[in-house]
A and B are shown apart, each in its own frame.
Chain A
Amino acid sequence: MGITRLELVNYRIFERGLLEPDPHGTTVLVGLNGTGKTSVLEAIGYLATARSFRGATREHLIRQGIEDAYLHATVERHDRPSTVNAQISRMAPARMTVNHQPVRTRRDLADVLAVTTFAPEDINVVRGGPAGRRDVLDDALVLLEPTAGGLLETVDRVLRQRNALLKQAKGRLTPEITSTLDVWDERLQAAGTSLITLRETLVDDLQDEVQRAYAALAGAPVRDERATMDYERSFSGDLGTALLANRDDDARRIRTGVGPHRDDLRLEINHRDARTEASQGEQRCLALALRLAIHQRVTARLGTPPVLLLDDVFSELDPDRSRRLVNELPEGQTVITSAVPLPSNVTSATVVAIEDIGGGRHGSLRSI
């Protein structure tokens, strides 16, 4: 899988940008800070996932004073070209198409364009809150399991409806409220349990590869550096029973205290809780190992590697670890931004300069 053409129109600082990267090789974007290198990776990520990996909202993606930004990509997969388009508007939800058909779920996008992103913020997956760890699992599931996208939407929607009902109840569970709550809980139990099962299976499946990749990145034998993962449920037993048992408490606090949205992923390095008791270097390695393991799994499932986006990851790693990361990266299209010289084992890459932005000139991408 590889992008052969990427066009940016009124996107961030680009009035019009064009990039034609090697669909099978490595492309390095160079340019001063603030010239939009990361924005280009963000645009590719947006076309694959319908959101910004920097967490930017729509209006930040649109060039100042303009109403709509457009992203167009041509993607080659198994030698067949497809197009992915996004129209990002200030006032309306983004409109996306794949081969000119409207996109209905993230799965539609994933079928054409998948990405694996490595960014300096990845360390927060390990040391930040549980939501980031759940997102990593869920993003992987959307690519791996046909039912995951629908389940995630259902769980999210049912939770919002259930919490709205609890708010209406004002702490009093009348028979009317209870009879409606029963059906929302039944929905949450069904969709939530399926989602949790998918996540737990994924964690089991990734275990060995995370362990191997972690040891490889740390440059140590596997027996000396043990990285392990454990899915932590927010309840014990059956979700339906737990929801019922928590109902009074939920009504009082107007929130749903148990379910897939409260679960966590426990990460350990040599039997220490990596979330709190690991060094920054260890946390960074573990975050990379988790992404690498997922990348490998998605590659196997899709039959082609997702496009790799490396946003300035080498500045956060020492030269040895940088070289080991490059060794671990699978074949396939890779787009890199870097504020530091690339590791010595990056052997062949096309370098693309982003023109300096200044004096009212607009940025454009050209191959050099």
Chain B
Amino acid sequence: MYPGPLRNLIDEFARLPGIGPKNAARLAFFLLRTPRDEAERLSSAIREMKERTTFCPICCSVAEGGQLCPICADDRRDPSVICVVQDPRDLMVVERSGSFAGRYHVLHGGLSPLEGIGPEQLKIAELEARVQDGVVTEVILCTNPNVEGDTTALYLSRLLRPKVAKVTKIAAGVPVGGDLEYADEMTLGRALEGRRDLEA
């Protein structure tokens, strides 16, 4: 058995997504052999990330030090269109396509009773609040192309239809507004994200 502190680190690594016990041990032993200041860069990076990363008070995406995220702080972004995504990483995929000039809203997940996630666990009340004043005329639902994502989109479209003039949904692989490049970038991002192994 490994000494306590080393064992603790292995256990912590093993809790991370996608890291099995073997890989957890490999990472821990790598850090054991790493010079002290290099290893501490990792621990301070984690500490700083936890201390200084906050959620944008408007769109709920990641931001720094309690401020608005760069997109919400940018006056040139069209406030009348909101693209709803499940995760800040999905926001980055749409952003990289370079063809969306509106704002975002990050739900932080999708409806999934199996994981105990209902509407209250998602940033849905925040989204509802954003569409109250009539500035927003279109909401684009860009949830994940799976059962949970599609169901979340269905729930949101029922909720928002009475309040927003236009609620649209991006289906994976279907171009929106005739902008093929946009859809292609999305499809590519989705296809990569959605890749998974076949369960036996």
Residues in A lying within 8 Å of B, measured CB to CB: 50-52, 57-58, 88, 91-96, 102-106, 153-154, 157-158, 160-162, 164-165, 167-168, 176, 179-180, 182-184, 186-187
Give the number of residues in B that approach A within 8 Å (Cβ atoms). Answer: 23
* Bound CA–CA A91/B19 (angstroms): 12
Contacts of A103 in B (CB 8 A): 198
Contacts of B147 in A (CB 8 A): 153-154, 157-158, 161, 187
State whether A180 and B114 are in contact (beta carbons under 8 Å apart), knowing that A92-B197, A104-B196, A187-B147 are contacts in the complex.
no
- CB-based contact B197/A183 at 8 Å: no
- CB-based contact A168/B116 at 8 Å: yes
- CB-based contact B20/A104 at 8 Å: no
- CB-based contact A161/B155 at 8 Å: no
Contacts of A153 in B (CB 8 A): 147
B112 part of interface (Cβ distance < 8 Å): yes
- CB-based contact A168/B113 at 8 Å: yes
Contacts of B116 in A (CB 8 A): 168
A28 CB to closest chain B CB (Å) equals: 28
19 example contacts (A-B, Cβ-Cβ < 8 A) are as follows A51-B200, A93-B197, A102-B197, A104-B198, A106-B198, A154-B147, A157-B146, A157-B147, A158-B147, A158-B151, A161-B112, A161-B151, A168-B118, A176-B119, A179-B158, A180-B155, A183-B151, A183-B155, A184-B151
* Bound CA–CA A360/B146 (angstroms): 48
B120 part of interface (Cβ distance < 8 Å): yes
Secondary structure of the A side of the interface? helix
A301 CB to closest chain B CB (Å) equals: 22
- CB-based contact B111/A180 at 8 Å: yes
* Bound CA–CA A158/B111 (angstroms): 11
Return the chain A residue nearest B195 by Cβ: A102
Q: Which of A153, A165, A183, A184 has the most CB of B within 10 A?
A: A183
- CB-based contact B118/A94 at 8 Å: no
Can you list the 3 inter-chain pairs with the closest CB atoms, starting with the nearest? A164-B113, A165-B113, A94-B200
- CB-based contact B154/A187 at 8 Å: yes
Chain B window 174-200, contacts with chain A (Cβ cutoff 8 Å), 1 for yes, 0 for no: 000000000000000000000111111
- CB-based contact B198/A50 at 8 Å: yes
Apart from A93-B198, A153-B147, A184-B151, 9 more pairs, CB < 8 Å: A88-B200, A92-B20, A94-B198, A103-B198, A154-B147, A164-B113, A176-B118, A186-B154, A187-B150
Chain B window 129-150, contacts with chain A (Cβ cutoff 8 Å), 1 for yes, 0 for no: 0000000000000000011101
Name the interface residues of B88-134: CB closer than 8 Å to any CB of A.
Answer: 111-114, 116, 118-120
Contacts of B154 in A (CB 8 A): 183, 186-187
- CB-based contact A91/B200 at 8 Å: no
A45 CB to closest chain B CB (Å) equals: 12
Chain B window 151-187, contacts with chain A (Cβ cutoff 8 Å), 1 for yes, 0 for no: 1001100100000000000000000000000000000
Return the chain A residue nearest B153 by Cβ: A183
Contacts of A186 in B (CB 8 A): 154
Contacts of B199 in A (CB 8 A): 50, 93-94
Contacts of A52 in B (CB 8 A): 200
State whether A93 and B200 are in contact (beta carbons under 8 Å apart), knowing that A176-B120, A180-B119, A186-B154 are contacts in the complex.
yes
Contacts of A93 in B (CB 8 A): 197-200
- CB-based contact B118/A96 at 8 Å: no
